[in-house]
Amino acid sequence: MMLCSLLALLLGTFFGVRSQTIHQWPATLVQPVGSPLSLECTVEGTSNPNLYWYRQAAGRGLQLLFYSVGIGQISSEVPQNLSASRPQDRQFILSSKKLLLSDSGFYLCAWSVGGETQYFGPGTRLLVLEDL
């Protein structure tokens, strides 16, 4: 019995049955000041994840911007011109109506289940320029 359980676990891992994936796009974005922004993040392979948006500005540490424990349940950690929405269980969108120069940075989406270990997406490098 134990051998069967071990074999099932190994086969499930090998064939990706137990895998979770986080997608984030775009990877790089250059925008003029005052333009709108929309960054999207989706998670596959899990249900009811906690979702997070972080930013790392040049020369600074990682800063939590938003987190969500469910659809429509979003908390903001830093008041600013950015907002977040969670239209579906595994989708988290970061947006802005008008970008500022100070919005430049590296943005990361992450997920966790039950507040445990967070798993990060590949990130988005955003560069906001005064004139393009």
Model pLDDT for residues 6-34, shown as the tens digit of each residue: 233 233 333 333 478 999 999 999 999 99
C-alpha 113: how far from chain center: 14
pLDDT at 132: 61
The average pLDDT across 75-99 equals: 93
Strand, coil or helix: 80: coil
Task: DSSP letter for 59, please.
Answer: T
Token pair for 47: 């249900």
For 36-74, the pLDDT digits (tens) are 999 999 999 999 999 999 999 999 999 999 999 999 899
The Cα 121–Cα 114 span in angstroms is 18
The mean pLDDT of the chain is 85
**pLDDT score at 85:** 96
